[in-house]
Chain A
Amino acid sequence: MKRAGVLQLGQHVGKIVLIVLLGGTLGAALVRFSPGFGVDERELDSRLNEQSIRALRQRQVEENNFAVFYVHYLGRLLRGDLGMSRTFERPVSELLKERFPETAKSVGLSLALAWTLGFSLAILAVMSRHWTIDLGASLLAGLLMCLPAAAMALLFVLARAPARLVLALVVLPQIFRYSRNLLARSAAQPHVLMAQAKGLNTLRIFFCHILLPVAPQVLALAGISVSLALTAAIPVEALCDLPGIGQLAWKAALARDLPLLVNLTMIVTLVTLLANSACDLLGQRFRGHAA
């Protein structure tokens, strides 16, 4: 059992490393073949002598070879050097250190709120067996799903409401919809009906016979919700002027600052993969319990 767990962990780590390496190749290709690559403004500096300019050009010639560029890129990544942002003229790692806590705070708070509200609504809709509650909650979730995150952010700015709530409202309908469907399907199983007929306690029926069998899927949804919240962070932070990595990505996209944008995408992908893997591993433990 322990060995199987270690094997699963190893598989997840291997998968993450492989995806990061492949993603790194794609990212490096985007940076290498982007317009303006190989142009160094320092060449225009009149204070540099002929030798310095030649040295700069020699370095660019080496980097023109994609394989050399990729090896250098990976080497720099391993040393924690994510390169320089063209727009901000600052190291990318420094910008990330500055901006990541803001996004982490927003995403953490919004996920906590979205899960509390969304999952509670799903439980209420399934357990109350009252069609008005189910319909009302479904309509609310449906309305929220039809609004683009950017429009919701603007409405919140106009209403002077806390912008972080928008992230929660983007994730909430997805959590409600999927968990409601999962719980409803689980509640309709014959063994649940049998438990109810035998007069078992409602709480016990819910936790042991409805929730436990769908715990792996609910945990998988938790992993996906991290990705959803991080994606929604771009329009929300950009339009609500929150200084996080979403706003940074937007500014980098408008200025076509690819080194910054590619590294941001890689970091966000890594966070998403870690969250998904953690949820998956936890879900497998629950699968064992449920079996």
Chain B
Amino acid sequence: MKGARLAAIVFLMVVGGACVFADLLLPASYAHQFRDEPNAAPSSQHLLGTDDLGRDRFVRVLYGTRVSLLLAPAAAFVASLLAALIGGVAGFAGGWVQKGVMAATDLFLSLPWLFLLITVRAVLPLNVSPLISVAITFALLGCLGWAAAARVVCADTTSLRESDFVLLARASGSGGWRLLWRHIVPNLQSVLLAQFWIAVPAFILTEANLGMLGLGVAEPLPSWGSLLRELQSYSVLSGQPWQFVPLILFILVVSSFHLLLLKQEWSA
């Protein structure tokens, strides 16, 4: 299991490195059209061929991976931060504040995730520039994905609040925000980190689903959702199996994240 985790880390680092330095590695932009070569087969010029608009598929895969790999952790960070704030304050305050906040969290959790997401997405403009669509998509994931983590953080904060060391700190004169900031928040780090790593693959999967439904990142900016949507035009007769490369890469990346999580899950 240790070897598999190490392989997952190395794989994620290689993919992440290739995506971050895509500008240096690749000759063309993700939107550049090779108009004479639409639907081209893989060659030394275009490693994964071109799509029906003549755009280099390999370039698009790297840029799309970069969008998802950089912004899903950013959204997970926002969600974990919100969870820490909401769950931490609720657990620390206790009483009716905790009951009220947890009732709101329950309400949030009882709303089906994708239904809630597409409802809120529909309120915001759909016909926007690609960069704004990226920001909207991942900001929504971050702002709506805090509830489950907040519940865990709240439960942990409650048990920490009642622990002996906090009682001792209270008896020594610490109180209020100092108690929360100096004694409770540092002990929540491992829980928050676990929630962060759980959220990353979940957000990558959700973005892919939204993108495939046409509610995610707008063209021409690639993301995994828009790259996988290309499979809609796949035909067995045309025989272009390299169209499946983004899907294979997607599975490998998400399973690498799952492998990283496995240790925490087993120890829990």
Contacts and interface: CB of A to CB of B under 8 A. Distances in A.
Given A19-B107, A19-B110, A256-B126, A146 B251 contact: yes
Contacts of A30: 119-120, 123
A121 interface: no
Nearest to B118: A253
A146 B255 contact: yes
A262 B107 contact: no
Assign chain A's interface to a size class: 35 or more
A14 B106 CA distance: 14
Contact of B228 (A18, A146, A154, A252): A154
Interface string A104-126: 00000000000000000000000
B122 interface: yes
Contact of B122 (A155, A252, A272): A252
B258 A149 contact: no
A268 interface: yes
Contacts of A232: 114
Interface string B21-55: 00000000000000000000000000000000000
Interface in B155-203: 201
A249 interface: yes
A143 B232 CA distance: 21
A216 interface: no
B208 A151 contact: yes
Would you call the interface of chain B mostly helix, strand, loop, or mixed?
Answer: helix
Nearest to B125: A35
B122 A150 contact: no
B4 to A, nearest CB: 11
Contact of A154 (B110, B121, B232): B232
Interface in A2-46: 15, 18-19, 22-23, 30, 33-35
A272 B112 contact: yes
A227 interface: yes
Contact of A235 (B106, B212, B231, B250): B212
Contacts of B110: 19, 269, 272-273, 276
A238 interface: yes
Contact of A268 (B115, B121, B209, B250): B115
Contacts of B103: 18
A154 B112 contact: no
A269 B112 contact: yes
Interface string A232-252: 101100110000000001101
Output the residue of A23, A33, A151 with the most chain B CB within 10 A: A151
B258 A264 contact: no
Contacts of A234: 114-115, 118, 209, 213
Interface string A148-167: 11110011001000000000
Given A22-B107, A149-B209, 15 more contacts: A15-B106, A23-B107, A151-B208, A151-B228, A151-B247, A154-B212, A154-B228, A230-B115, A234-B209, A254-B214, A256-B122, A261-B118, A265-B116, A268-B115, A269-B115
Interface of B: 103, 106-107, 110-116, 118-123, 125-126, 201, 205, 208-209, 212-215, 228, 231-232, 234, 236, 247, 250-251, 254-255, 258
Interface of A: 15, 18-19, 22-23, 30, 33-35, 142-143, 145-151, 154-155, 158, 227, 230-232, 234-235, 238-239, 249-250, 252-254, 256-258, 261-262, 264-265, 268-269, 272-273, 276
11 contacts: A19-B107, A155-B231, A158-B231, A231-B113, A234-B209, A238-B213, A253-B119, A256-B123, A257-B122, A269-B110, A269-B115
